Structure formats: C-alpha cells, structure tokens
Amino acid sequence: MKIFLDTAETGELKSAFATGLIDGVTTNPSLIAKSGRDFKEVVAEICEMTDGPVSAEVASTEAEVMVKEGRILSDIASNVVVKLPLTFEGLSACRELTEDGIDTNVTLCFTAAQAWLAAKAGATYISPFIGRLDDLGMNGMELIEEIRILYDQHGYETQVLAASIRGPVHVKEAALAGADVATIPPKVFSQLIKHPLTDKGLDDFVKDWKGTGQSIL
Ligand code: E4P
C-alpha cells in the first residue's frame, strides 16, 4: 500500500519526504485555508518536492467550470492529480478530464455505489472517507472492504485511496482491507513508527553496547 501525506504544509512534507517513505500528497480546500498560502503557489512548491502524485481540488461545483479549473491545475505540473467532488457534475468533469489524459481523484466518497459511479467515470483514484463515517457511529473500514470487492469483481482499475485517516489502526486496517493507498496526516505518519517497547529496547541495547567498550567502526 502506498502512503500519501494529507497536508498542505510544506515544512511537514520536507521532513516526511526525507524518510523516503512518502509516495504522494493530497490536499483539500480546508488544508489550503489552514496553510494560509496561495493555492497554486503551494501546489507548485509541493510538486517540486516530489515526482509522486499531488492532489489539488477544484473549487467550483459546476462541471464546465470544474473542467476549466482542472486544466489550469493540471498545467501547474505533470504530477498534479485533479480532485473532484462525488456529484454528477464532478463525475461529468472527471469523464472529460480523463479523456484528456488528466489523472483524477474523486473525493468525498461515503458509499460503495458512489465509488462504482466514480470508477465508471474513469477516476484514477477514489477517496472513501473512513474517519468521517466512524464519527457518525458507522464502520468506515467496511466501505474500503466493499469497494475493494466491487472493483476486483468488475475489473475496475481505479485505485482505492483510504482518506480521513485518524490513527495508525486505520492505516493498518486499510492495508489489510486492500486499499491501494492511504493518505494520512503528518501526525499519524509519526505515530506509525512509535512503540514504547521499541524505545525501551533500543535504550537497553545502546546502554549494554556501551558497557562492552567495543566499536564496530
Ligand atoms: C482526503 O483527501 C482528505 O483531504 C482528508 O483525508 C479528509 O480528512 P478529514 O476527515 O480528517 O478532514
């Protein structure tokens, strides 16, 4: 499973990219607003930091305008993926941009039926929002499982991009459910590697090694 970072903060991205473990980036209008920066400028900057896909979301809700916005965003860099909402207007724009060879990410997916329509529209990625379903007392991970089965049974190549991830358990379960990608906040990326037994074990090994008085170099 690939890992994308769900952020528009270039500082956070820099340190995460340094690990060599990040395959791409997703942004959304709320993350851009939080960054306080110019949208196109920040997308261009992120695209310079990685060759991986960088999702940038259209602002309009009308298909015709979404297509125009999508083409402008796609011109920023060759690795821009145009993010579109899961509405009939969004899917119509998805179809048109796909026909132009532009990669798309259909976002705000909450049912397998929606995911099926996005695949029919030629979406490169579908973004089911796990955390927001869990917040309503529903089971977000079931949605990933259902989409995986549906896409495999019908031979759709649209990649399942698990979104709205709230913690390491979501990441593990998305991988087990067969998601192609998980887009995760930087905080969750840091949490993925942490375990108190790893920290304690390493402290003990370092201390005991010092006690031997030896050097490998
Ligand atoms: C995905 O592309 C979205 O940007 C994101 O995962 C939404 O997550 P949230 O529900 O934490 O806002």
Closest CA to 83 of 21, 30, 36, 136: 30
Nearest residue (CA) to ligand 1, atom 6: 164
Pocket test for ligand 1, best of 2, 4, 6, 27 (most atoms within 8 A of CB): 6
Report residues whose beta carbon is within 6 angstroms of any ligand 1 atom. Answer: 6, 26, 28, 107, 127, 129, 131-132, 163-164, 183
Question: What stretches of the chain show up as alpha helix (H) in DSSP?
Answer: 10-17, 29-35, 39-49, 63-76, 88-99, 112-120, 130-135, 140-154, 168-176, 186-193, 196-212
Ligand 1 atom nearest to CA at 131 = 10
Residue 134 pLDDT level (bands cut at 50, 70, 90): very high
For range 105-111, the mean pLDDT: 98
48 in helix, strand or coil? helix
Q: What local confidence, expressed as pLDDT, does residue 54 receive? A: 98
Atom of ligand 1 nearest to the CA of 105: 2
The residue-averaged pLDDT of 124-135 equals 98
Report whether 124 contacts 89 (CB < 8 A): no
User: Which atom of ligand 1 is nearest the CA belonging to 83?
Assistant: 2
Q: Taking Cα atoms as reference points, which of 166, 10, 29 lies closest to residue 84?
A: 29
Calculate how far, in angstroms, residue 6's C-alpha sits from the geometric centre of ligand 1: 7
Spell out the residues 6+ positions from residue 183 whose beta carbon is closer than 8 angstroms to its own. Answer: 3, 4, 5, 6, 24, 26, 127, 161, 162, 163, 165
What is the residue with the minimal CA distance to atom 4 of ligand 1?
28
According to DSSP, the residues that pair with 183 across neighbouring strands are 4
| Protein residue with least CA distance to atom 7, ligand 1 | 164
The predicted-structure confidence for 22-58, as pLDDT tens digits, reads as follows 999 999 999 999 999 999 999 999 999 999 999 999 9
pLDDT at 1: 98
Pocket mutation for ligand 1, best pick of 3, 164, 165, 188 (most atoms within 8 Å of C-beta): 164
Give the tens place of pLDDT for each residue, 183-216. 999 999 999 999 999 999 999 999 999 999 999 9
Which CATH code, of 3.20.20.70, 1.20.210.10, 3.40.30.10, 3.30.390.10, is assigned to 2-212? 3.20.20.70
Active site residue 83: yes
The arithmetic mean of pLDDT across residues 60-66, rounded, is: 98
SS3 at position 52: coil
From 5, 28, 58, 81, give the residue whose CB has the most ligand 1 atoms within 8 Å, as the site to mutate. Answer: 28
Question: What's the rounded Cα separation, in Å, for the pair 107 and 104?
Answer: 9
Pick the catalytic residue from 83, 120, 194, 200.
Answer: 83
- pLDDT tens profile 6-20: 999 999 999 999 999
Going by pLDDT thresholds of 50, 70 and 90, the confidence category of residue 21 is: very high
C-alpha 7/C-alpha 73 separation (Å) is 17
What average pLDDT does this structure show over 79-106?
A: 98
For tokens 């532009």, the residue is 102
Q: Specify the pLDDT at position 103.
A: 98
- Distance (Å, whole) CA 197 – CA 203: 10
- Cβ atoms 68, 89 nearer than 8 A: no
Tokens for 156?
């759709």
Across residues 71-96, what is the average pLDDT?
98
Query: What pLDDT is stored for residue 64 in this prediction?
Result: 98
d(C-alpha 157, C-alpha 119), whole Å:
8
Q: What percent of the chain has pLDDT over 90?
A: 100
At residue 81 the predicted structure's pLDDT band, cuts being 50, 70 and 90, is very high
Closest residue by Cα to residue 144 from 195, 109, 169: 109
**Residue 67 confidence (pLDDT):** 98
Crossing angle (nearest 10°) for helices 39-49 and 63-76: 50
